[in-house]
């Protein structure tokens, strides 16, 4: 039996993997095109309008707006559907903080729904109980690139007259019942930050079929002004707005990346399928679940560990940390994405907000104290403790050889489980606590 690398043995993956993103000549040419043109900003710039047109076509929605981050796009979405101070907005407990931050940014109050232990998305069985007369919107999050249960969510939204803003920041190109993400909600928001399946360093995209929402979102994007292509600017702000516009350089780069997003997603899917197949039958390993009616674009590949299935009497948190350490020593990437449920972050614990507890203390709210109790994050907490994510090895240009070395690393670790349970471990070690 091979000795584990953590105990001085040879690494199962000495070659490692290639980092995402790789910059092609076409990407460089796109950026140079902007430099040569010497037009760097402006909402009617050719790259920005080109990206909006191409992204609307890719998704199959009537309208697309660029902006400078997914966080900005979510805020634009809430403004567009008319969220007001004190309104409640339900989102997932297992997400990036921006899914909830956007509600606070619009003086609304985030409410959290726990997730399903298999899909990691908002658990629709728990969603209805979170709806009150103050609820005005739901922000489902397509975690790790897999669409939420949109039919059920939209049905509840219809029943209670709520708006749905899809946090599709991780799910560019995924499908649900044959329909593209970006067409499944009142508005859908994508992030283009440097980690995303479609990226340009920092940026965002908002899709909708609704002209009124499109115009409102645009208004928030540019200082509350009503700006239209070809119409002279009258410098009149009608509402509170921000400066959320994108620039020409990232737009040009994103357009270049968009030309191969579908191919890149296919590689992620093939790599994920190979990894899942290679790990099949290994006890204590729970590979990602994708319901048959949808596709995932595997922004992350999350794998859960169950020490009990191996007859090991250890907390899932410590077991996960040990496997993670052992994988890293073998030359593999093994990361955590988020280390706590959103509502356990300082912002939501302190509830200072803008000062004086706003917006939680907003007089337009329900008047009841807002408590973020464990019933809304129990499953999220378990998932965060007992799982890790893979990122780079799933991304192109990595392929079968890299994935096979990851499978070999797992097999080696599983064959030497007694060693895994034995080495000293510091649970605060930063290498096992962040992305």
- Please report, as ranges, the residues that interact with ligand PLP according to CB under 6 A: 69-71, 95-96, 98-99, 141, 167, 169-170, 191, 193, 204
Parallel, antiparallel or unpaired: strands 163-167 and 179-180: unpaired
3-state secondary structure of 47: helix
DSSP string, 126-181: HHGGG--TTEEEEE-B-GGG----HHHHHHHHHHHT-EEEEE-TT-TT-EETTEET
Q: Please name which of 149, 141, 145 lies closest in space to residue 380, comparing C-alpha atoms.
A: 141
Dist. CA 75–CA 89, nearest whole Å: 12
Nearer to ligand PLP, 169 or 258 (CB): 169
Dist. CA 358–CA 370, nearest whole Å: 12
Nearer to ligand PLP, 13 or 71 (CB): 71
Nearer to ligand PLP, 99 or 180 (CB): 99
Q: How far is the CB of 421 from ligand PLP (least distance, A)?
A: 34
Tell me which residue has tokens 């070659």.
15
3-state secondary structure of 65: strand
Nearer to ligand PLP, 143 or 310 (CB): 143
Nearer to ligand PLP, 95 or 218 (CB): 95
| Residues 50, 255 contacting (CB under 8 angstroms) | yes
Instruction: Give whole-number Cα distances, 432 to 339, 423, 428, in Å.
Output: 10, 15, 8
Q: How far is the CB of 347 from ligand PLP (least distance, A)?
A: 15
Nearer to ligand PLP, 244 or 410 (CB): 244
Q: How far is the CB of 433 from ligand PLP (least distance, A)?
A: 18
Q: How far is the CB of 25 from ligand PLP (least distance, A)?
A: 26
Nearer to ligand PLP, 336 or 412 (CB): 336
Nearer to ligand PLP, 68 or 208 (CB): 68
Nearer to ligand PLP, 206 or 413 (CB): 206
DSSP code of residue 357? T
Dist. CA 249–CA 321, nearest whole Å: 41
Residues with Cβ within 8 Å of 39's Cβ and at least 6 positions away in sequence, in order, are: 45, 46, 248
Q: Please name which of 315, 379, 334 lies closest in space to residue 92, comparing C-alpha atoms.
A: 379
Backbone torsions φ then ψ of 255, nearest 5 degrees: -60, -40
Residue nearest to ligand PLP according to CB distances in the complex: 70
Q: How far is the CB of 172 from ligand PLP (least distance, A)?
A: 11
Tokens of 221: 């994007």
């Amino acid at each position: 039996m091979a000795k584990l690398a953590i105990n001085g043995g040879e690494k199962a993956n000495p070659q490692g993997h290639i980092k995402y993103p790789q910059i092609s000549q076409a990407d460089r040419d796109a950026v140079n095109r902007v430099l040569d043109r010497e037009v760097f900003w402006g909402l009617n710039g050719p790259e920005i309008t080109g990206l909006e047109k191409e992204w609307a076509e890719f998704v199959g929605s009537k309208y697309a707006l660029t902006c400078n981050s997914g966080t900005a796009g979510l805020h634009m979405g809430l403004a567009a559907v008319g969220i007001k101070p004190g309104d409640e907005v339900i989102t997932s407990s297992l997400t990036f903080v921006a899914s909830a931050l956007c509600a606070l940014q619009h003086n609304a109050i985030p409410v959290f729904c726990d997730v399903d232990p298999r899909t990691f998305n908002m658990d629709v069985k728990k969603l209805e109980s979170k709806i009150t007369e103050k609820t005005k919107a739901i922000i489902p999050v397509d975690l790790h690139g897999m669409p939420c249960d949109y039919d059920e969510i939209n049905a509840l939204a219809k029943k209670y007259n709520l708006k749905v803003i899809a946090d599709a920041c991780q799910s560019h190109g995924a499908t649900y019942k044959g329909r593209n993400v970006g067409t499944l909600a009142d508005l859908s928001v994508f992030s283009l930050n440097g980690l995303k399946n479609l990226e340009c360093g920092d940026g965002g995209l908002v899709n909708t079929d609704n002209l009124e929402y499109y115009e409102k979102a645009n208004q928030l994007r540019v200082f509350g002004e009503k700006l239209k292509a070809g119409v002279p600017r009258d410098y009149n702000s009608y509402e509170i707005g921000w400066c959320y516009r994108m620039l020409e350089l990232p737009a040009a780069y994103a357009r270049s990346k968009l030309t191969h997003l579908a191919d890149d997603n296919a590689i992620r899917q093939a790599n994920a399928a190979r990894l899942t197949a290679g790990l099949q039958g290994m006890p204590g390993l729970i590979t990602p679940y994708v319901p048959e009616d949808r596709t995932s674009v595997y922004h992350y590949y999350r794998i859960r560990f169950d020490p009990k299935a191996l007859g090991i009497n250890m907390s899932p948190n410590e077991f996960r940390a040990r496997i993670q350490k052992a994988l890293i020593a073998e030359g593999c990437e093994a990361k955590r994405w988020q280390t706590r449920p959103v509502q356990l972050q300082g912002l939501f614990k302190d509830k200072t907000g803008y000062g004086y507890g706003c917006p939680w203390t907003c007089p337009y709210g329900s008047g009841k104290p807002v408590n973020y109790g464990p019933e809304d994050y129990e499953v999220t907490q378990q998932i965060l403790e007992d799982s890790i994510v893979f990122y780079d090895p799933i991304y192109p240009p990595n392929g079968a050889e890299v994935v096979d070395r990851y499978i070999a690393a797992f097999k080696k670790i599983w064959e030497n489980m007694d060693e895994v349970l034995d080495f000293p471990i510091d649970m605060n070690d930063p290498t096992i606590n962040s992305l």
